[in-house]
Every structure is written in C-alpha cells, then in structure tokens.
Amino acid sequence: MSSPDKDRPEKLIYMANQIGKFFVTQPGNGAVDGISTHIKKFWDPRMRKEIVAYLDHGGEGLDPPVKQAIETLRAGST
C-alpha cells in the first residue's frame, strides 16, 4: 500500500502541467501569468507550498512554462 503523501508530488505535477497545457496558447507571457494566477486562486496554500518546494529540488517533470509560473509564485511568497 502506498502512502498518500508519497503519491502527492506526482499528482501536483500532473495537475500543474494540465493547467499549463490549457494556457499554453496565450500570447506573450500570458501562459505563465495564467498558470500562476490559476494556481494562486484555486490551489490550497499547502499545495502551492509543496509545488514550490518541489521546484526548489529541481522540478523534474514540470513543463517549462509551469516552472516559470511556479517561480513567479515563489517570488510572490505563495
């Protein structure tokens, strides 16, 4: 049996990348802005902290615009 916490980063990565796929067609920096706004508005603060911490440890598996959006969130003190 796996621990829910063990699986959580993979779920957050999947969710963040799905959000990124939705916003990727936005012109200019619209994708990064859209992703970071969506995560800030709709993700629980614990989820935001967890994805920022994951990025701090390399962020493997996160799409480039998602990484940029999470960096934006980190800079804004999620």
Please write the tens of the pLDDT for every residue from 11-66: 999 999 999 999 999 888 899 999 999 999 999 999 999 999 999 999 999 999 99
The tally of CA atoms less than 13 A away on the side-chain side of residue 51 is 31
Average pLDDT over residues 3-13: 72
State the helix-helix crossing angle for 4-23 and 64-75, rounded to 10 degrees: 100
Per DSSP, helices labelled H in the chain are 4-23, 30-42, 45-56, 64-75
Cβ atoms 18, 51 nearer than 8 A: no
User: pLDDT-derived band of residue 3, with 50, 70 and 90 as boundaries?
Assistant: very low
Q: According to the model, what pLDDT value does residue 76 have?
A: 84
